[in-house]
Amino acid sequence: MASKRRLKTVVVGIGGMAISDSPDESLVAHSLGSCLGVTFYDPVLKVGGMAHCMLPLSRIDKEKAKAKPGLFVDIGVPKLIEAMLRRGCRKKNLVARVAGAARVMDRANFFRIGERNHAVFRKIMWKNGLFIRAEDIGGDQARTLRLEIETGRVVVQSEGREREL
């Protein structure tokens, strides 16, 4: 069921990360093609976080990685987890959902950026003892991902359709 009241939207752009405990906010990542939109939510504290990662591995550009770690799955996702833990969240409470990793500009699947983003994400989750509650991954369509802070509800929009993760 869609939320009836108007939520303030915090846009998480490419390479961005955001954390909120404000019940009147939602975090949103637009145009997730091969990018990975990652959400973590602690239902006990009602704290949510989102990252919008573009590339799997930071070693390709160490300067960019230092300036904007959220661009890269391998350092952006761990930094988001660490930031959530600093806010008082507990790993055992974190609910993870992820969307993206499509082949929007790589229909021949030559570069496999989306696939590699997802593989690195899964490895990070495993190393941290975290489970993925839900995902909307792959295909060839871009997505928009939204996390409502008050409820922890996560919605994916693609091709004019919306579904809850």
Q: Where are the alpha helices (DSSP H) in 71-142?
A: 73-86, 113-127
The strand pairing partners of 162, in sequence order, are: 157
Q: Are 28 and 9 in contact (CB under 8 A)?
A: yes
Residue pair 52/133 in contact (Cβ under 8 Å)? The answer is no
Largest CA distance in the chain: 44
Which pLDDT band, with edges at 50, 70 and 90, does 103 fall under?
A: confident
Residue 62: helix, strand or coil by DSSP?
helix
Q: Is 28 helix (H, G, I), strand (E, B) or coil?
A: strand
Q: Which one-letter DSSP state was computed for residue 155? A: E
Mean pLDDT of 136-152: 96
Please list the active-site residues: 35
Per-residue pLDDT at 80 exceeds 60 = yes
User: Cα–Cα distance between 40 and 80 in angstroms, integer?
Assistant: 8
CATH of domain 8-160: 3.30.1330.200
pLDDT at 146: 98
pTM: 0.92
Using a pLDDT cut of 90, give the percent of the chain over it: 88
> Can you tell me the mean pLDDT for 21-37?
97
For the chain, domain boundaries: 8-160
Separation of alpha carbons 103 and 116, rounded Å: 11
The beta strand positions in 25-164, using DSSP E, are 25-32, 36-42, 47-53, 95-100, 132-137, 143-148, 154-158, 161-164
